[in-house]
Structure 1
Amino acid sequence: MNAAPLPVPIDPDLSAERGANGQPDHVVSAVVPTRDRPIMVRRAIESILAQDHPGPIEVIVVFDGTEPDQSLVSTRPGRTVRVLGNARTPGLAGGRNTGILAARGNVIAFCDDDDHWLPGKLRAQLDALDDDPHAEFVTTAMTVDYDGRRTDRLAGCDQVSHQQLISSRMAMLHSSTFVVRRDALVDDIGLVDETLPRSMAEDWDLLLRAARRRPIVHVDRPLVDVTWGATSYFADQWQIRNEARLWLLEHHPEISRDERGAALHFSKLAFGHAALGQRREAMRWSARAFRRNPREPRTVLALLVATRLVRWEFVVRMLNTRGRGI
């Protein structure tokens, strides 16, 4: 699934001009996977095209399971929009990889179709990328929009290590903030893993693999609006969530070796089983989480749902209102 592809040459129409320092500006390929969100995807595209990056930007819109909308195709000075059908595994991961492999830029960026970039986002990240010659992967903080309630999620740091990602999901490092050098992504980090159940948590898996090589450079400003709510993927697919978390434990065994990371992961599994009404499994994972870190609050939430003292919908709604997920 993740074999390295042949390099794709940069289109002459997208060739970077020389900047003030004599160096070529980056050519950015923004990959936008989409499915059945015609209004939102147009907002996402416009937010990318409106960035003040002086170099070329191409937007690659990848339609998953639906016919590509050719009306989105456009060309303007320094800006292009292309549309493709997902040519790989159906789902978010395959859609992202279809766009990555078709990209003609030296920098890859992600934007989900229900999110949008804020002004200055791309320039801030490319400046951070250029400031560190060893940097490969740059993220920003985000603003969560949940049914009109907006919450900024900051990381409180300008670099994120592999250990930080093991101990905490670092959810503010959202996929719609990702900017990464194409050669590092394709040749070293590897493409988005298409074997994850329903592409669930593919962004965290990618972050873990990237941070294992080098720390993630982080711009701790909320420069992406992330939409949560009824339109979000995996809103109530607890079985898929559980399968994905088991996949992550198998493919990233260091999570289980970390006290905080293990408790966090086990408590999420406990909550997922509780939401499915699987009380025995919920209690088992809760016990495992408590043994690793008695202070993990999600364990208590899982037990409350498992014993039917509260409904899982209430817990998720309260957490989402604060810009946080389970």
Structure 2
Amino acid sequence: MQLDVSVVLPTHNRPELMKLGVESVLAQKTSATGEVVIVFDACPIEVPDVEVPEGWTVRGISNTRTRGLAGARNSGILAAEGRLVAFLDDDDEWLPGKLAAQLRRFEEKPEAIIVGTAMVVDDGTNRIVRRVPSDDLTHEDFLRNRNPGLHSSSLMFRREVLLGELGLIDEELPRSYGEDYDILLRGSSLGLVTVVNEPLVRVLWTGQSYYFGKWAAYAEALQYLLRKHPDFATIPAALGRIEAQVAFSLASAGQGKEARSWAWRALRHNPKQVKAALAIAISWKLVTPQAITKVVQKLGRGI
């Protein structure tokens, strides 16, 4: 019999955190059957010793595709045996009730392309709940706002959709940055993205992210997304938002002249873009990106 759900968990040399993530999946109280597919990216396969409930399995595989998060996710998707595929990053955890709530939502809305949940941001000292503005999100919603309360570790898909009309994770994205935003943009262009708007994923923000502080890579990936999704240009405010993020990243990477060019472009499209003004300030060394990042992360937000 086909399994109900496959949880794809990419990892790279973080066995302690990864084990906590696996245990958070296996602790879900539901009658669903499933598997946790741990994808070891450029590191040895070392499946943790965990208590596995009846109807579930835990297995490890190697990333046989492009090195990095996108290739690892795709290796897991292609190996998955469940009718549904869920993502979990190796430094995050599912909270009680997540799996059952998403299974119910798929039953309630069989037309859904993606089902996610809200999240809790944990900085090691404080926990901040981040919900999404609406339970049902359109393509325009994602163009205007990343809706960051919807984290990659909360996402669930029908496997047949991932292997069909939606497609796999884009392995061409520089350093895989923004791969979750890309698939949300693609998914919302096909149909409904719906959210169980309760904090059912714990996301750890203590500077352990592989992306943390890689400003040049951020800028490169954001420019890639702008080229890939020309729909941004149909909404000036949406275009200005991404341009401001590019400007901030370039300024933080020390590319001041180019950052200012992107910042002025962003302000022409969206005069309310605070990130564009901050990018100009950083480019002239009036403030540091570290100081700004520290402030926004205390609020449970990211740049």
Q: Give the TM-score normalised by the residue count of structure 1.
A: 0.90
Q: Please list, as runs of the form range in 1=range in 2, the aligned pairs for 1:267-278 lying within 5 A after superposition.
A: 267-278=244-255
**Structure 1 regions of 5+ residues with no counterpart?**
1-11, 17-26
Residue identity over aligned pairs, in percent, reads 40
Q: Please list, as runs of the form range in 1=range in 2, the aligned pairs for 1:31-180 lying within 5 A after superposition.
A: 31-72=8-49, 76-180=53-157
**Partner residue of 1:266 out of 230, 238, 243:** 243
> Is residue 2:288 matched to residue 1:306?
no
**Mapped partners of 1:158, 1:236: distance in 2:** 31
Q: Give the TM-score normalised by the residue count of structure 2.
A: 0.97
CA spacing shift, 1:153–1:70, aligned 2, 3 Å: closer
One-letter amino acid of the counterpart of residue 267, structure 2: F
Give the superposition deviation at 1:71.
Answer: 4.3
CA spacing shift, 1:221–1:76, aligned 2, 3 Å: closer
One-letter amino acid of the counterpart of residue 259, structure 2: A
**Mapped partners of 1:75, 1:314: distance in 2:** 44
Task: Between 176-185 and 75-84, report the one with greater CA deviation.
Answer: 75-84
**Mapped partners of 1:274, 1:266: distance in 2:** 12
- For the residue of structure 2 that corresponds to 1:136, the secondary structure is strand
Task: Between 71-80 and 231-240, report the one with greater CA deviation.
Answer: 71-80
CA contact (8 A) 2:37 2:61 kept: yes
* Residues 244-302 of structure 1: CA deviation (Å, up to 9, x unaligned): 01110110011133122111111111111111221111110110010001111111211
* Residues 215-272 of structure 1: CA deviation (Å, up to 9, x unaligned): 2011111110011122112101111111101110110011133122111111111111
Give the superposition deviation at 1:75.
Answer: 5.0
- For the residue of structure 2 that corresponds to 1:188, the secondary structure is coil
CA contact (8 A) 1:74 1:80 kept: no
- Give the equivalent residue in structure 2 for 1:212: 189
Give the superposition deviation at 1:169.
Answer: 1.0
**Partner residue of 2:177 out of 188, 200, 220:** 200
- For the residue of structure 2 that corresponds to 1:112, the secondary structure is coil
* Residues 134-172 of structure 1: CA deviation (Å, up to 9, x unaligned): 112101111111232211111131101110000111111
**Structure 2 regions of 5+ residues with no counterpart?**
none
Give the superposition deviation at 1:55.
Answer: 1.3
> Is residue 2:167 matched to residue 1:190?
yes
One-letter amino acid of the counterpart of residue 17, structure 2: M
* Residues 78-118 of structure 1: CA deviation (Å, up to 9, x unaligned): 11101001011000001000000000100000000000000
- Give the equivalent residue in structure 1 for 2:295: 318
**Mapped partners of 1:300, 1:43: distance in 2:** 40
- For the residue of structure 2 that corresponds to 1:66, the secondary structure is coil
One-letter amino acid of the counterpart of residue 73, structure 2: R
Runs of 4 or more, structure 1, over 6 Å off, are none
**Partner residue of 2:270 out of 293, 307, 311:** 293
CA contact (8 A) 1:74 1:82 kept: no
* Residues 186-219 of structure 1: CA deviation (Å, up to 9, x unaligned): 1110000101001000000011111101120111
**Mapped partners of 2:241, 2:258: distance in 1:** 16
> Is residue 2:248 matched to residue 1:248?
no
- Give the equivalent residue in structure 2 for 1:236: 213
**Mapped partners of 1:116, 1:95: distance in 2:** 18
Give the superposition deviation at 1:73.
Answer: 7.7
**How many residues are matched?**
303
**Mapped partners of 1:156, 1:270: distance in 2:** 26
* Residues 107-132 of structure 1: CA deviation (Å, up to 9, x unaligned): 00000000000000111111011001
